Amino acid sequence: MHTQLDHSYLQHWGLANSPFRMQADPARAYPSSSIGEAIARVEYLVGERRRLAVLVGEQGVGKSLALAVAARELRRRGADVALVDAAGITTRELLWQTAVQLGAGPMESDETQKLWRRIADHLAENRWQGRASILLLDDCAALGPDQQSHLLRLARLESQTDARWTLLLAMEQGQLGRLCPQLLELIDMKIELERWEADDSEGYVQHALLAAGRLAPVFTDGGLAALHELAEGSPRHVARLADFALLAGAGAGAEQIDGALVQAAFDEIAWRPEGPDV
């Protein structure tokens, strides 16, 4: 039944695939102004050999996607990059994933101290070769005291004066206080991801539809305006509402999606975007 519904939905709008799947695929990321600004700041941090920065934003604004895009761009520039999800991670897993993704050549049998040595030796070799090394760590508010102590040690592996080793920690807007004071003291820059402006929401929708094979407009100007307003500029909710509006429009046999249809879809799914932190 679900497959038949998906097929009907795609067929109605002339789509080759579902356009609004918000997966952290850096190759398909919409180049919003907020993502562009964040990537420029990350590149500045690495270029200026800064040690530690944080990427913050409300839930759903695209922090994981921004990290994936940053990793892709930095690798293209020749840097060694580790992109690690901190949710539920153990200390050994943190070190293991960092060593693997940096190319430090860890062995399955390596214990914590051996992993430390491999990472330190690899960073020293990269520094000697003039090669940048970066650790991008997602969902850092999930790190416990032990993991944070090791993260602090990672941040201090290279001296500030000759560092080619940069750490970027991502978390929600109001979660900085969960980091230990020693980590907070090392932060060189805070990068904030903002909600989308109306132009970004509109551009994303048009870009996604075109990539999925739809050449003719689907959303009217009023539909796009309602989509941005009701989703309150949250990228995740813009995608979800746009997707459900397409499904509802196909079910109603609509030729285009206007503001009324977007409102009806919003009322039916009965959610509201997360409000700003207080």
The structural domain count of the chain equals 2
* Residue 277 pLDDT: 42
Residue 73 lies in a domain: yes
Angle of CA points 257, 259, 260, to nearest 5°: 90
* Residue 3 pLDDT: 44
Structure tokens given for 97: 């994933």
- H or E element that contains 169: strand 165-172
User: Of 160, 192, 224, which residue constitutes the final position of a domain?
Assistant: 192
Residue 276 lies in a domain: no
Residue 44 lies in a domain: yes
Q: What is the pLDDT of residues 243-274, one digit of tens each?
A: 999 999 998 999 999 999 999 999 988 666 65
pLDDT at 22 over 80: no
Residue 126: Cβ-neighbour burial (10 angstroms; 0-12, 13-18, 19+): buried
In terms of residue numbers, what domain contains 207? 2-14+196-269
pTM: 0.86
User: Of 176, 192, 208, which residue constitutes the final position of a domain?
Assistant: 192
Can you tell me the distance from the alpha carbon of 276 to that of 122, in angstroms, rounded to the nearest whole number?
Answer: 41
Can you tell me the distance from the alpha carbon of 46 to that of 223, in angstroms, rounded to the nearest whole number?
Answer: 41
Residue 255 lies in a domain: yes
* Residue 23 pLDDT: 59
DSSP β-bridge partners for residue 137: 84, 169
Residues 87 and 106 in one domain: yes
Q: What is the pLDDT of residues 180-204, one digit of tens each?
A: 999 999 999 999 999 999 999 999 9
Tell me, letter by letter, the H, E, C secondary structure of 33-102: HHHHHHHHHHHHHHHCCCCEEEEEECCCCCHHHHHHHHHHHHHHCCCEEEEEECCCCCHHHHHHHHHHHH
